[in-house]
Amino acid sequence: MTEVWWVSLIKAFVIINLLMLTFAYMTLIERKVLARMQLRYGPNRAGPFGLLQPIADLVKLIRKEAFFPASAVDVLYITAPVLSCFTALAAFSVIPFGPGWTIGDYYVSGEVVNVSISLILLFALGSLGIYGFIVGGWASDSKYSLLGSMRTCAQMVSYEVSLTFAVLGVVLMGRSLSLVDIVHKQDETFWFFGPQFVGLLIFFVAGVAETNRPPFDLPEADTELVAGYHTEYSGMRFGLFQMGEYVNMITLSALAVTLFFGGWYGPWAPLGPLWFALKLFAVIFIFLWLRATLPRLRYDQLMRLGWKVLLPLATVNAVVTAALVVAL
């Protein structure tokens, strides 16, 4: 069944706004979770239980003065945060969240767009988003921003290889690069987190590094006196960088649910998007838990973990899986 173009347009609009709403309240939830785990108060001033805090943050970012260095490269400086945010939102478009439904005479698919190479498309969009961080740091014409963008480039290259190798086993077992087909294959057989447990661990660790989350937050370096690649950004331009990082975290968590935990399928009751949302927030909670409990890694520790530990493990995992698939 095919989907009418205006149905796809409405669905894309709804998904993008839901994703942005999730990002906004993830900032509140993260601060609440960190406060609970560290035995202190979280946001509790703006609105009941602090529920209006994300809206207050948005108003502050919009009204804040948008300064920039006089020697900055204007076009690249302005478009860099837009590129990072756009690619993060676009990457979520290939994530399937339901089996598809027939509403009246119209068919509504369970994803914004379904392509046969959706996994490659997602990684390609993620790779393009990295240019926003790198170009933004370079175009600021600041040595602190430039050093931050160089650290971003080094970290992304180190862990993107491991991240890609970690999903090869899933591709071999699912026999497809389509995320929809991979989800259906897990329903027909079993969820891949069992036979691909090593791949799941590698994927998660590399994913934490790819999204610049603690303890791999060196590109952003928010615990230092300067803030890395976005040192010279303020106002909503700074907000777009933060939005891109949070949406990347949400997208990566959704990809983990799709590849390893059966996507929208649940152990009972075919609830579709509800099961997907529950699994998604469970994975996101682990991201928050790590930030609340783990110290930062030094730069040499971070690079050693990427090249000397995760990449060899990911390679071995992919080779063993390929041998099993051929043997069976």
For residue range 181-230, what is the model confidence (pLDDT) as tens digits? 999 999 888 899 888 888 899 899 889 888 888 888 777 766 665 677 88
The count of structural domains within the chain is 1
Q: Is residue 138 part of a domain?
A: yes
Give a yes or no: residue 36 inside a domain.
no
- The pLDDT of residue 313 is above 90: no
Cβ neighbours around 110 below 10 Å, total: 20
Q: pLDDT higher for 156 or 252? A: 252
Let me know if residue 242 belongs to a domain.
yes
**Of 324 and 245, which is predicted with more confidence?**
245
52 part of a folded domain: no
Average pLDDT over the chain reads 85
Region 45-57: mean pLDDT is: 87
Residue 262 lies in a domain: yes
- Measured CA to CA, the distance from residue 268 to residue 257 in angstroms comes to 17
Q: Tell me, what's the pLDDT at 251?
A: 93
Look at residue 2 and tell me if it is in a domain: no
Query: 217 or 89: which carries more pLDDT confidence?
Result: 89
* Spatial distance between the Cα atoms of 216 and 211, rounded to a whole number of angstroms: 8
Quick one: pLDDT at residue 323?
82
Question: Is residue 43 predicted with pLDDT exceeding 90?
Answer: no
> What is the reported pLDDT for 203?
92
Largest CA distance in the chain: 63
Residue 234 lies in a domain: yes
Q: Is residue 250 part of a domain?
A: yes
Q: Domain range holding 144?
A: 67-102+113-327
pLDDT tens sequence across 121-158: 999 898 888 888 888 888 988 888 888 888 888 888 77
Q: Please say if the pLDDT value at position 270 is more than 80.
A: no
